[in-house]
Structure 1
Amino acid sequence: MKVLMTEYLRLDLDAEQWECRVCDHSIGSATKGYKEGLLVYNRDPREIHPPIIDPEQYRFTFSPDPEWVRILEYYCPHCGTMVETEYAIPGHPPLHDMEPSLPAMREQWARRQEIKDTVVGPAVSSDSDGHKH
């Protein structure tokens, strides 16, 4: 049974492996953090948030200081899809954001059908039901 975890990440409960949803590449053991199996790009935050005012004239430019914040981008090592991004403190380990209980998930999903594609809700338009603001 495979369970969709995020837009680009899937969990294979039988193999206990994280997988890329784009290319089906096995990223690593589900008993560890998925980020351990991904490529990491430590971005300079000024590339993402460039200074608003001249950094030659001003110390504070409304751009993040790389001594205080770093942006980590995580990519599938097989297809290059960006799986996750996080803002982190330099010198601190990456955020451990998911630790699924595999036995509990197996029990929960034993009573369900596997979902292979993202479920998308109905299209909503501002005048679909005649309601106006």
Structure 2
Amino acid sequence: MMSDYKDADRFQQVRDVLQDRVDWDDPIIIPYAEHLYVVAKSEDEWVIKCDCGHEFCEHDENWKADALINVRDSEEEYLEIYPKDMHPHPDYMELREFFCPGCNTLLEVTNVMPGYPLVHEFEPDIETFYEEWIEEPIPTPEARST
């Protein structure tokens, strides 16, 4: 727990560190999830991008639909990762593993009922975040190159 105020430019510091870790130049607008970012392709085009540079989709679409998906839905597949009798019953639950098509990094795992749709859990309100919370302009490729 922090007992004092955070640095006013903390978000910018985190974004700078993340930007230094990747090999591409598109400016990171926000970290989206582990290994995933919303980046600016242009002033009005924002996409979800992986550490490796693979671009999934527009920032307001479900990136999972563009991921490689491994579905564990049998006793044999569950036993690869769970101890015996410690896994969900395959008739009632399936384990979905989402991987980046560019680097095969495991990005997310969900445990859902068979046939359950791919849930789009998070759609950030980027404009409100920048305008009202941190009061900065949204990064653009043009601003980054100057």
Q: State whether TM-score is above 0.5.
A: yes
Change (3 A) 1:39 1:105: farther
For residue 34 of structure 2, what is the aligned residue in structure 1? 7
Q: Which has the larger helix fraction? A: 2
Tell me the secondary structure at the aligned position of residue 61 of structure 2. coil
Matched, 1:92 2:92: no
Work out the CA distance in 1 between the residues paired with 2:115 and 2:61: 21
Work out the CA distance in 2 between the residues paired with 1:97 and 1:18: 14
TM-score, normalisation: structure 1? 0.66
Aligned residue runs from structure 1 range 114-125, under 5 A: none
Unaligned runs of 5+ in 2: 1-26, 140-146
For residue 73 of structure 1, what is the aligned residue in structure 2? 97
Tell me the secondary structure at the aligned position of residue 120 of structure 2. coil
Change (3 A) 1:105 1:19: farther
Identity %: 26
Q: What RMSD over aligned residues (CA atoms) do the two structures have, in Å?
A: 2.4
Unaligned runs of 5+ in 1: 52-60, 115-133
Tell me the secondary structure at the aligned position of residue 116 of structure 2. coil
Matched, 1:50 2:50: no
Change (3 A) 1:103 1:27: same
For residue 136 of structure 2, what is the aligned residue in structure 1? 111
* Residues 46 and 64, structure 1, Cα contact 8 Å, conserved in 2: no
Q: 1:39 aligns with which of 59, 68, 72?
A: 68
Aligned residues: 104
* Structure 1 residue 104: Cα displacement: 2.2
Work out the CA distance in 2 between the residues paired with 1:113 and 1:29: 16
Work out the CA distance in 1 between the residues paired with 2:111 and 2:138: 35
TM-score, normalisation: structure 2? 0.61
Q: 1:25 aligns with which of 54, 72, 78?
A: 54
